[in-house]
Structure 1
Amino acid sequence: MFEKLLVPVDLSPQSQMMATAAARMASYGVREVVLYSALEHHSKRDPLLKAIDDRLGESGLKHRVVTEVRKDPASAILKAAEAQGSTMIAMAASGKGRVREFFVGSTSLAVIRRSKLPVLLDKFPMEADSDPVGFVEHSPGLLDSVLVTLDLSKATRHMMPYVQQLIDAGARRVTLLHVVQSSRYSITDERRFQEVNRKLEEHRSKLEAGDCQVDTYVRFGTSTYNILESAREAEATLIMLGTTGKSYLRGATLGSTSEEVVKGSSGPVLLIPA
């Protein structure tokens, strides 16, 4: 999953931080980074793009810069990922480039909705703009504490190999979370909770955890609130969830929840397409 990253850059501080974060992912199995810019009226010689390129060069990672002139950023990113043989798209959730606005919310959401690849989306605080490189270098590791949201539908079987990949890449702690919908079930419905716990334990037992601590957690209520609250309680450095799917317990589609989590999360979110 981490082998070949496509990192869209718009020359904003946010995209600079994303490129710096990509350089830190070598220990997770990243072998190559493609910096992709679809902005108009600049070239590889742009000083900010060159600075990002040089930063990756210092990391020792194989990398290159691809620049194109495109009117539809989301489509351009997706086409570039396919053309470059990327295994993941890693992008800043928002930001404003020096040339024109690029990573607006609609672009990020369009990539998430249409991507056939995992998408790592990160939000960087505005206060980090003054020192984007320093902020990333002093941030916790991406895989220190991973919260994995499972809807326990058939899509969960598709998600679990990616969870194993995170563990193999060096995740220190993984929490498997399921939210029982309060709109459909009662908190006193013990049979439902027992079934959910059984399913989570079944998935946990199939993981080759090694030194990684793997926990299961069941919450009751609305999905988005409980995912974000669980992330806060677990001090999650990454939230991982699918972009589509229906709950094992007759839950609502996860697509809308994924987008709400992306909007509400203050940290990185890894989205896995069904």
Structure 2
Amino acid sequence: MFDRILVPTDGSPGSERAFEVAATLASTHDAAVHVLSVVDEHGPTDDDWDYDGGTPAEAFIESQADHVDTEGLSVTPAVREGVVHDAVLDYTDENDIDLIVMGTHGRTGVRRFLLGSVTEKVVRLADVPVLSVKADAEPGTVSFDDILLPTDGSSGAEAAIEPAGALASATDATVNLVSVVDTRSLGIDVGSTVIVDELESVATDAVGDASDRLSGLGVETVETAITHGVPYRAILDAIEDTDADLVVIGTHGRTGVDRYLLGSVAEKLVRTSPVPVMTVRAPDAGGES
């Protein structure tokens, strides 16, 4: 499923952590890695570069050679000029990229994104999965042994099942399925109790269906849980409870693309999760693009 992986870079620590993750995934999935440096159309031009005759992308790859094992991997440098997130998305389309791995800021300033709002925009708009990695993640060996997969049974959530299954089956990872029953607006009365029961039934069906699909994808170990509370906070708690290394979460399709994803759950996780987050957008549902 992951044959071509793209790492957009600006040479920052976030880009370095993203490259480490991409190299690990590429080794596991026998994938090619593309490293893209985008020169902002309002920034420096080719004549302003000084990389000993090379490009920014080539210089970045060379700088990672001492601490990232790329032996046997195909790593291709590329440079584009233009609006950064547009250039990333165009390169993805032109080169049949299957996965984008990008860095974000760490917990300090979680309301800000690498390169302004580039990561946020790519997460919202990319047709392929986007794996966001914190700049303050520990450098070194990357492993995804425990994957957390939130699900609510929606088409957005279902879109994340296959990528999570592909990752888990390749490394014998455990997938922890969690469905959060959002009870924030319910009072404590008989009617609310009935509604909670209905919501729990939906959640049970969602994790059951997702578990069956994961088994069909070759995932041997699947754990399931149903929790209550504010969804993104419950997912953050589940990350800690399951000792997850990665969160894979689905988002809506293009319809309403300027709105936040899954009621802002995916967007908040990209900002605040202590572990990498892979967002997977559902196929277009026929709305405006």
Category of TM-score, reference length = shorter chain: 0.7 to 0.9
Q: How does 1:110-189 map to 2 (within 5 A)?
A: 110-125=121-136, 135-137=139-141, 139=142, 141=143, 143-185=144-186, 186=192, 189=196
Q: Report the equivalent of 2:75.
A: 63
Q: Report the equivalent of 1:243.
A: 251
CA contact (8 A) 1:10 1:103 kept: no
- The SS at the match of 1:66 is strand
Structure 1 residue 152, shift from structure 2 partner: 1.0
Structure 1 residue 173, shift from structure 2 partner: 0.7
Gaps of 5+ in 2: 107-112, 187-191, 254-259, 283-289
CA, structure 1 residues 80+255, in 2 after alignment: closer, same or farther (shift >3 Å)? farther
Whole-Å separation in 2 of the counterparts to 1:176 and 1:37 = 36
Structure 1 residue 261, shift from structure 2 partner: 1.0
Whole-Å separation in 2 of the counterparts to 1:255 and 1:119 = 18
Q: How does 1:1-274 map to 2 (within 5 A)?
A: 1-39=1-39, 40=44, 41-42=48-49, 44-46=54-56, 48-52=59-63, 54=65, 58-70=70-82, 72-94=83-105, 103-104=114-115, 106-125=117-136, 135-137=139-141, 139=142, 141=143, 143-185=144-186, 186=192, 189-206=196-213, 207-208=215-216, 210=218, 212-244=220-252, 254-274=262-282
Larger mean CA deviation between 190-199 and 18-27 belongs to: 190-199
Aligned residues: 252
CA, structure 1 residues 58+202, in 2 after alignment: closer, same or farther (shift >3 Å)? closer
Structure 1 residue 119, shift from structure 2 partner: 0.3
CA contact (8 A) 1:37 1:68 kept: yes
CA, structure 1 residues 57+158, in 2 after alignment: closer, same or farther (shift >3 Å)? closer
CA contact (8 A) 2:35 2:75 kept: yes
AA paired with 2:179?
H
Whole-Å separation in 1 of the counterparts to 2:199 and 2:60 = 53
Larger mean CA deviation between 160-169 and 255-264 belongs to: 160-169
Over the matched positions of the two proteins, sequence identity in percent amounts to 25
Structure 1 residue 225, shift from structure 2 partner: 0.4
Structure 1 residue 118, shift from structure 2 partner: 0.5
CA, structure 1 residues 197+92, in 2 after alignment: closer, same or farther (shift >3 Å)? same
Q: Report the equivalent of 1:131.
A: none
Gaps of 5+ in 1: 96-101, 129-134, 246-251
CA contact (8 A) 1:241 1:258 kept: yes
Q: Report the equivalent of 1:249.
A: none
Structure 1 residue 273, shift from structure 2 partner: 0.6
Structure 1 residue 107, shift from structure 2 partner: 1.1
Structure 1 residue 105, shift from structure 2 partner: 5.0
Root-mean-square deviation (CA, aligned residues, Å) is: 2.8
Structure 1 residue 13, shift from structure 2 partner: 2.3
Whole-Å separation in 1 of the counterparts to 2:117 and 2:269 = 15
Structure 1 residue 238, shift from structure 2 partner: 0.4
